[in-house]
Amino acid sequence: MQVSREEILHIANLAYLNLEENEIDSYILHLQDILGFANRVNNAPVENIDITIGSNEATNVFRKDEIKVFEDYESLLQNAVTREQNMFKIPKVL
């Protein structure tokens, strides 16, 4: 299983991760190793087998669209790096 330098940088970019120059080779090697093993699912006898996305037969749960007010703003905002009044502050977007 070959993974190219361009490919790993593309994937890291999709995941919003920067890889250090000195990490790239080891990420490639490990990913190749793991994908080489993971590739065995392609030899599994799965023809005409349905997919399973979860192990229980959960069905969608609906509830009334009612507003519940969470008043403890302080405990939410205590984790904010920067805030203004009761808002998370971020750099200018536009």
Partner 1 sequence: MRQKGGKEMNITELTVHELQEKLKNKELTITDITKAYVDRIKEKENDVQAFITLLTEKAIEQAKDIQNRVEKGEIKGELAGIPIGIKDNMCTKGVKTTCGSKMLENFVAPYDATVVEKINDENMIDLGKLNMDEFAMGSSTEYSYFKKTKNPWNLNKVPGGSSGGSAAAVAAEIVPWALGSDTGGSIRQPSSFCGVVGLKPTYGLVSRYGLVAYASSLDQIGPITKDVKDAAILLNIIAGHDEKDTTSTDIPKVDYTKALKNDVKGLKIGIPKEFFGEGINEEVKVSIQKAIEKYKELGAEIEEFSLDIIQDVLASYYIIASAEASSNLGRFDGIRYTYRTPEFKNLKEIYKKSRSEAFGTEVKRRIILGTYVLSSGYYDAYYKKAQQVRTLVMNQFNKAFEKYDVILTPTSPTVAFNIGEKSNNPLEMYLADICTVSVNVAGLPGISIPCGVNQEGMPIGMQLIGNKFCEETILNAAYTFEQAIKFRENYKPE
Residues that bind partner 1 (CB under 8 A): 8, 11-12, 14-19, 23, 27, 30-31, 33-35, 37-42, 44-46, 49-56, 58, 60-61, 63, 72, 75-76, 78-82, 88, 90-91, 93
| Minimum gap (Å) between residue 54 Cβ and partner 1 | 5
Instruction: Give yes or no for a contact between 39 and 3, defined as CB atoms under 8 angstroms apart.
Output: no
If you search the block for the tokens 């890291």, which residue do you land on? 12
Least distance from partner 1 to the Cβ atom of residue 84, Å: 14
φ/ψ of residue 84, rounded to 5 = -140, 120
In terms of CB distance, is 78 or 85 closer to partner 1?
A: 78
| Cβ proximity to partner 1, 75 vs 85, nearer residue | 75
Using CA atoms, how far residue 37 sits from 6, 11, 42, 49, 66, in Å, is: 22, 19, 10, 21, 48
